[in-house]
Structure 1
Amino acid sequence: MDKRFENLTKLPSEPAAKMLAEQNAKLGTQLSAPASAPIGVVLEELDAKDAPIDILRLMSVVLPARERVWWACLAARDIVGAGAANATPSLAAAEAWVFQPTDENREAAIASLDYAPVQDDTVNCALSVMYADGTLGPGEMAQYPGPAGGSSVAAFAMNIEALGKKMDQFDSYTQLLVDRALDIAKGGNGVFDASETKQEG
């Protein structure tokens, strides 16, 4: 197996197809791998078939909640820039939840959605936090299920929004988004720029 898709220690051992089905997610690429295939095998096939968008979709499903939100936050930072001064309320709240995933920080992320401008793409980070455990929020809202795969859809959308801002760098930037997700899946923080992406064989 390609070393890029090995040692994804943060990912569950469940088959990729099962996780996709549980989150009501579909890939556009026809796979030859069996339904029982582990995540790494499916990722390698998608890579061989040059399907980076499907890799992003799958990674949005299989990353654990905190790692998924952090991945989305990195994409949001590509749009707004680094530093506290550039963070939108939704992005700042989502980042705070990643570092301290408390009910209070989750509530703050949800609250940020109420006053975010319509054109604020970073609300996807807060939405990914909102649906992080599959419910509509903490406290009383925990008894209400969120939309299937709501957190992963939001994280995927955040990455696609960022990609839309960099269409002139489509190939290199898409690879950066993939490499970030893989680094996070291996226990890294995903923080590196396009010049630092690795093509390992």
Structure 2
Amino acid sequence: MNDWVKVKAINAAELIQHFELSDEAETALIPDKTPHASVEDLVDANCHYDAIKLIAHGLPKREAVWWACLVARQIQTPDTDEHNINALIAAEAWAKQPTEENRLRCRDLGEKTKYETPASWAATAASWSTGSMAPEGEPEIMPPEYLYAHAVAGGVTLAGVLHNADDPEQSLSQFIAQGVNLAQGGNGSI
């Protein structure tokens, strides 16, 4: 039985076709298992980055972006610059209300923050979730179906390293627990 009410995939095989697993994860993961069991297997095998990718690809777009926001919020400091603060606020606004106006603000702030921070990747994930990637007035270029999940996974992974450079797996474990909570229908609190 799958207690991940927010994840439509029945097994990990449905999700791993959209990203590349590490060699260690390919050994640890059994594609026919549920996404939840697969994440547990990946964490047990210390394949945290692969577990994050699996969760990001399993969550619906809004929940995935919200997860990236929760993680980015945890690593912001009083020294965080205005553009990154605004990028995170914009991504949170899109996750709450996925309007085109909010998406375009995320796109602009993702570009301003140069894709270098978890907040930047949260905003980029929102901007890659819907709408055209082309500049206004140009022919539409729709993002690939799971491009947002790659941005989410990148932001969550980067946050783990920034949050605790000496032991990123500790932070990543906490962030994975938040993603699991979202997959179970929670709000990401752990």
Q: TM-score range by the shorter chain?
A: 0.7 to 0.9
Q: What SS is found at the alignment partner of 1:168?
A: coil
CA distance, structure 1, for counterparts of residue 15 and residue 139 of structure 2:
22
Alpha-carbon displacement from aligned partner over 1:79-104 (angstroms, at most 9, x marks no partner): 2149xx97612111000011111111
- Structure 1: how far apart are the matches of 2:159 and 2:89? 17
TM-score by length of 1: 0.77
What is the correspondence of 1:106-185 to structure 2 with a 5 Å cutoff?
A: 106-116=103-113, 119-133=116-130, 135-136=132-133, 143-147=140-144, 149-165=146-162, 166-185=164-183
- Residues 1:27 and 2:21 aligned together: yes
**Mapped pair 1:44 → 2:44:** no
CA–CA distance in structure 2, aligned partners of residues 115 and 131 of structure 1: 15
Query: Which consecutive unaligned segments of at least 5 residues does structure 2 have?
Result: none
Q: What is aligned with 2:74?
A: 78
Name 2:6's counterpart in structure 1: 10
Q: 1:96 aligns with which of 93, 97, 101?
A: 93
Cα–Cα, structure 1 residues 36 and 142, in superposed 2: closer, same or farther, change >3 Å? farther
What SS does the aligned partner of 1:167 have?
A: coil
Counterpart AA for 1:98: A
Over the matched positions of the two proteins, sequence identity in percent amounts to: 25
Deviations 1:52-105 (A, max 9, x none): 2211111111111011001111111122149xx976121110000111111111
Q: CA deviation at 1:181?
A: 0.4
**TM-score for the superposition, normalised by structure 2:** 0.81
Would the aligned equivalents of 1:65 and 1:133 in 2 still touch at CA under 8 Å? no
The separation in 1 between residues aligned to 2:123 and 2:11, in whole angstroms, is 28
Which amino acid is the alignment partner of residue 26 of structure 1? E
Q: Flag structure 1 segments of 5+ consecutive residues without an equivalent.
A: 193-201
